[in-house]
Structure 1
Amino acid sequence: MDIANVKVGILGGGQLGKMLNYYGNHWHLPLFNLDKSENFPAGINAYHFTEGDFKNYDDVVAFGKEMDVITIEIEHVNIEALQYLESIGKIVHPCSEALITIKDKFLQNEFYAAHSLPTPEYKSFASRSDLLTSIQSHDTKLPLVQKTRGEGYDGRGVKVVDSMKDLSDLLEGPCIVETKTRIAKELAVIVARNDDGQVVCYDPVEMVFNDNNILEYLYTPANVSVDIQASLLKYAKSIIELYKISGLLAIEFFLDTDHQLWVNEVAPRPHNSGHHTIENAVTSQFEQHLRGILNLPLGDTTMLQPAAMINILGEEGYEGKPYYQGIEEVFKIPNVHVHLYGKPETRPHRKMGHITVCGNDRSEIEEKIKKISKIFKVISK
């Protein structure tokens, strides 16, 4: 691949696009972004930003025709446009076939079941009312987890139903329900592949979610047994090869109280569960994704130091221009790295950035996290 002359188009102009652009800049690689507004995070460092809608067929086709390689920073893009671009010889990663499955939670679970990968028991429902009827007739048992079939991310599209009193705010639209797993830990693995078939994995991470099902922070290395770690890496390599994906695949797992692993869901792009690799690994997930989609040799995933990643979320009760309260004090803490996404408005639970906290061991890192949580808030003025 002639990286000096290849044109790479990214469908999306959010924070993931911004961080991909940063690593493309290292190689003077021209990265082009398509999204609704140049004021989005990636607008600040794109080689060229095209204003348009990645869900619109005509916008995606017009954008993609000018590119050599097309990739994504979000799954909810126009699949028909990607299929057309593939038909005229454009390189698309992830391929449309994999993306069709991954965008639909039901098709994801069907895929795992068909390939004998561990996934919770699940059912599909056409509507909220169909699910409600099934529960009330005792055909579907509680507790359960309801997931919308599409458009879910960052905690959206997921509803935990523990008892009948939780039925008043079931999610609308086509959905699946899964048997609620007795979760001991939530884990994730970032795995990468190129077209030559080289596959590498990063160290598994251990995730902690808030009450809104948004990732609050993660730790790496995950505190799991050698056998569990080996199983995580084995599943990750198998899944990316089955999907035939080039670039990154983030895979979320449940570890239950019986020490059984379950595949939860995947994302075929850089992911929140891999942000720490910027400071914690030899090769960041963003550089790795570019290597994968361009069929370059994949980078070294060796961990340089233990780390945690904290999501910077907008505080409850604040909307408007963000003010980063306490950021000067955070900057004083050694081996703590602040990443602000540049979103012009904050609102409750919106991802405004992340902080990577590194140290010699978990106890040192946890002390830094406690300090940061006390002094740092995203509010508005």
Structure 2
Amino acid sequence: MAKDFYGELQLGILGGGQLGRMLIQEAINYNVNVHILDPDKNAPCRKLCNRFECGSLNDFDTVYNFGKDLDMITIEIEKVNVDALEKLEGEGVIVYPQSRIIRLIQDKGLQKQFFKQNDIPTAAFQLISNKENLYETAIPLPYIQKLRRDGYDGKGVKKINNTSAIEQAFEEPSLIEELVDFEKEIAVIVARNDRGDVSTFPLVEMEFNPDANLVEFLISPSTLPFEIQTQADEIAKKIAEDLQIVGLLAVEMFLTKDGEILVNELAPRPHNSGHHTIEGNITSQFAQHLRAIFNLPLGATTARTNAVMINLLGEPRYEGLARYEGVEDVLAVEGIFVHLYGKKYTKPFRKMGHVCIVNDDRDLAIKNARWVQKTLKVKA
């Protein structure tokens, strides 16, 4: 920590979306000054921070000038100018997660190589320079093609079923990986501070929207066998230790039908798979991230009760000023918590908010969540 609390610490966040918004809500408890850089003048954080700057996250000068007078910088999105962060680190600004980790995770190819070098279980893969390489690969069809850079929220991913589908493949540098016949998609969020303390949140089980390819439904804690939960927990801790990360790390994994766990991707920040922790756990993922980067004792992550999180996505065929249907209906039910992200405009499958449903009766929590999915809609 460069300074004590009491309103003196100047914290910069690269990105002013919903993750930054929820970080600010938690940072208020620590009495720090929060500065936000985001390219959208209507970003959800714009009215909540001490200083809002509209500018590119990818421009060296913009990021450097934003951060040079701050004590610490963190991120809510990986697509940022790492060269500027490295210069800031060299000049004494604390950057967590460290710039070297952001650089690694920006490139899915480097991520995969990191898994291989550190004996982290992951699907077989091959790095591809351009589309022509896809006609001769060591990975049999069908396989998944992922852009090495800039893929986000389901974008930058394609399933290549046969050789004729290669015509529609990505041209840019990418990787292909073996198509995993998985039973479930699961995730563990792990935190590590500069003291080397490491703590994980209980394993969660996820469902993805088939059209948008992003998390739509999540339940915690998992009821998978203890051995599976333990193995996933150990994998997440190993990755955090191998990276020596300071901050929060979301580890997304596949559980195969054979009971094997394979790591899919990493996110070095608060993540969609941890939103339920605000109501569902003793410490939220946002509080834990701040504890980690401030080098404070990590909080207890025990689940308070069963928690289901659903993403509130913009309805298909609607685009424009956001209008929410069914908010009063869902808020009339005990144990339902609505989080709207302050985004002025909606479009199909845009993340407009999330809802957390908690209940000591797991089946009732799931039933209520399914009802919320049918009742609460974002239109225009």
Tell me the TM-score range normalised by the shorter chain.
over 0.9
Residue aligning to 1:372: 372
Match of 2:241 in 1: 241
Letter of the 2:177 partner, please give it.
E
State how far apart, in whole Å, the 1-side matches of 2:5 and 2:186 are. Answer: 34
Give identity over the alignment, percent. 44
1:112 maps onto 2:128 in alignment: no
Alignment-mate amino acid for residue 169 of structure 1: Q
| 1:263 paired residue number | 263
Question: Counterpart in 2 of 1:84?
Answer: 87
The 3-state SS of whatever aligns with 1:43 is coil
1:103 to 85, 103, 106: 106
- Give the conservation status (yes or no) of the 8 Å contact 1:251–1:263: yes
Aligned pairs (5 A) from 1:30-49: 30-49=33-52
Deviates more, 1:20-29 or 1:271-280: 20-29
CA deviations over 1:303-362 (Å, ceiling 9, x no partner): 111101100001110000011111111111110000000111100111000000111132
Q: CA separation in 2, counterparts of 1:315 and 1:105?
A: 30
Q: Which residue of 2 aligns with 1:9?
A: 12
Deviations 1:122-141 (A, max 9, x none): 0011122332x226xxx542
Q: Following superposition of structure 1 onto structure 2, how do residues 1-381 of structure 1 map, counting pairs within 5 Å? A: 1=1, 2-4=4-6, 5-131=8-134, 133-134=135-136, 140-164=139-163, 166-211=165-210, 212-380=212-380
> Does the aligned pair in 2 maintain the 1:18–1:44 contact within 8 Å?
no
Q: Give the drift of 1:162.
A: 3.1
Q: Which amino acid aligns with 1:29?
A: V
| CA offset digits 1:70-128 (Å, max 9, x no partner) | 11000000010011011111111111111111111110010010011101110011122
Alignment CA distance shift 1:141-1:34 (3 Å): same
| Per-residue Cα deviation, 1:9-39 (whole angstroms, up to 9, x for no partner) | 1011111011101111122211111112342
What is the CA-CA distance between 1:165 and the residue it aligns to? Answer: 5.6
Aligned residue for 2:345, secondary structure, equals coil
1:44 is displaced (CA, Å) by 2.2
Considering only aligned residues, what root-mean-square deviation do their CA atoms show, in Å?
A: 1.3
- What letter corresponds to residue 10 of structure 2 in structure 1? K
Cα distance between partner residues in 2 of 1:87 and 1:315: 45
Distance 1:327 1:120 in 2: 41
Larger mean CA deviation between 227-236 and 156-165 belongs to 156-165
Asked if the contact 2:139/2:178 (under 8 Å) is kept, the reply is no
Contact 2:307 2:359 in 1 (8 A): yes
C-alpha distance in 2, partners of 1:144/1:35? 35
Please tell me the residue identity of whatever aligns with 2:144. V
Q: Distance in 1 between matches of 2:370 and 2:91?
A: 53
Tell me whether 365-374 or 267-276 shows the greater mean CA deviation.
Answer: 365-374
Change (3 A) 1:191 1:258: same
Cα distance between partner residues in 2 of 1:3 and 1:233: 32
After TM superposition, what 4+ stretches of structure 1 lie above 6 angstroms from structure 2?
none
Contact 2:145 2:157 (8 Å CA) reproduced: yes
Structure 1: distance between partners of 2:370 and 2:280: 20
| Secondary structure class of the residue paired with 1:301 | coil
CA distance in 2, matches of 1:329, 1:41: 25
Give secondary structure in 2 for the equivalent of 1:249: strand
Q: Paired residues, what number? A: 376
Greater mean alpha carbon deviation, residues 299-308 or residues 368-377: 368-377
Q: Which amino acid aligns with 1:149?
A: R
Q: CA deviation at 1:172?
A: 3.2
Q: Is the 8 A contact 2:319 2:379 kept in 1?
A: yes
SS at match of 1:312: strand
